[in-house]
Amino acid sequence: MAIVPDLLQVKDLRKTFAAKRGLFSRNRRAVHAVDGVSFSLGTGETLGLVGESGSGKSTLGRLMLRLIDPTAGSVQLEGRELTTLSPAQVRAMRSDIQMVFQDPYGSLDPRKTIATTLAEPLKVHGTWTPESSARIRETMLRVGLNPDHAERYPHQFSGGQRQRIGIARALMLNPKVLVLDEPVSALDVSIQAQIINLLKALQRERGLSYVFIAHDLAVVRHVSDRVAVLYLGKIVELADRDTLYGNPAHPYTEALLSAVPHPDPDAAQARRPIIAIGEIGSATQLPSGCRFHPRCFRARALAGGAPGAVPEVCQREEPVLQARPAGGFVACHFPEPVRSLSPDSTEH
């Protein structure tokens, strides 16, 4: 199915939490969880969203569904602004955009049967009819569950089956967009593949659009048309899948990819060393200039390798996302790997 652009448009979205400084402190400090994010999603498209734990992926997902309110910015679905909807309008909007969580056990009510859980969205939306039981059976069947198990409780299912229940629940209202927050991260590798194949088949059949959040870059490569890399609340690189994985421009992307096993172990890229960049920085005290500069091996190499030294521009100026000649967008003052910036390769 051809991708129609701009089904969903996110513009300069921000979320700042007020977090307590300490257990007994009254001081609050700002956590810049999502700090000016823009992207679009087309019909039938999968946008992968990657970044280390704490980079703001879940917050971004929750903002898109209005599970939490943004501090600033805009989310539009088919041109309709979602950030200013009333609570009743938000409920109605949920028939178009739904979320699937990492831990289906945590998001399923242990006291409710699967039939009750799947009926709930229809009841909340006032679209429940006696024929809806048949829909529940059909949906269970489609996601690979035995409809005869509809009266069972979550604990009677395996982890993979519970994720199928989570997907079935998200599908009950026929949404256009699914935000999948680490949907396979808690599952064994063999089960991961089954769930991913199910999601791909559902996407083809129904023209669904996915925002697929994961910290596992190998999984994201498998499912995504385009990929956005998030670092401390900002997109630092966004490109189509093959450009991002084959020719990453941002040092953070390069470092993340260096830790991913290459699909072809004999390829030159498979023998690249893992680039160690240490721990993620703090979302409460964002570094000046480029927020990645304290961890940036490329900036250090450019500054001659002295401890802590980086080019001044990296400490002073926040880089903005800019189009690359190779395709995609990158927010970096030196958006090419250092080897192509060596003195021998002077530009003409």
Task: Give me the residues that bind ligand ADP (CB under 6 A), please.
Answer: 17, 19, 31, 33, 51, 53-59, 283
Strands annotated E in the chain: 4-20, 28-43, 46-50, 72-77, 80-81, 97-100, 177-181, 209-213, 226-231, 234-240, 322-323, 329-330
Query: Quick one: 34 or 150, whose CB is closer to ligand ADP?
Result: 34
Query: Quick one: 180 or 296, whose CB is closer to Mg ion?
Result: 180
Least distance to Mg ion, CB of residue 181, Å: 6
Least distance to ligand ADP, CB of residue 19, Å: 4
Map the footprint of Mg ion across residues 249-308, applying CB under 5 A: none
Q: Are 258 and 274 in contact (CB under 8 A)?
A: yes
Query: Quick one: 58 or 163, whose CB is closer to Mg ion?
Result: 58
Query: Quick one: 211 or 299, whose CB is closer to ligand ADP?
Result: 211
Which listed option, ligand ADP, Mg ion, none, makes contact with residue 59 (CB within 5 to 8 Å by class)?
ligand ADP
Least distance to Mg ion, CB of residue 63, Å: 13
Q: Which long-range contacts (CB under 8 A, 24 or more apart) does 224-227 make?
A: 224/46, 224/47, 224/48, 225/3, 225/45, 225/46, 225/47, 226/45, 226/46, 226/47, 226/48, 227/47, 227/48, 227/49, 227/50
Map the footprint of Mg ion across residues 25-84, applying CB under 5 A: 57-58
Least distance to ligand ADP, CB of residue 187, Å: 18
Query: Quick one: 283 or 331, whose CB is closer to ligand ADP?
Result: 283
| Strands ordered across the beta sheet of 226-231 | 97-100, 177-181, 209-213, 46-50, 226-231, 234-240, 329-330, 322-323
Which listed option, ligand ADP, Mg ion, none, makes contact with residue 211 (CB within 5 to 8 Å by class)?
none
Which listed option, Mg ion, ligand ADP, none, makes contact with residue 250 (CB within 5 to 8 Å by class)?
none
Least distance to ligand ADP, CB of residue 77, Å: 21
**DSSP assignment of 241-261:** HHHHHHS--SHHHHHHHHTSP
Number of residues located near Mg ion, criterion CB under 5 A: 2
Helix (H, G, I), strand (E, B), or coil: what is residue 101? coil
Q: Is 139 a residue that touches Mg ion (CB under 5 A)? A: no
* CA 310 – CA 302 distance, rounded (Å): 7
Query: Quick one: 51 or 183, whose CB is closer to ligand ADP?
Result: 51
Least distance to ligand ADP, CB of residue 223, Å: 18
Query: Quick one: 212 or 334, whose CB is closer to ligand ADP?
Result: 212
Which listed option, Mg ion, ligand ADP, none, makes contact with residue 51 (CB within 5 to 8 Å by class)?
ligand ADP
Q: Is the dihedral of CA 324, 13, 228, 199 positive or negative?
A: negative
Closest chain position to Mg ion (CB): 58
**DSSP assignment of 140-197:** HHHTT--GGGTTS-GGGS-HHHHHHHHHHHHHTT--SEEEEESTTTTS-HHHHHHHHH
Least distance to Mg ion, CB of residue 53, Å: 7
Interface residue list for Mg ion (CB under 5 A): 57-58
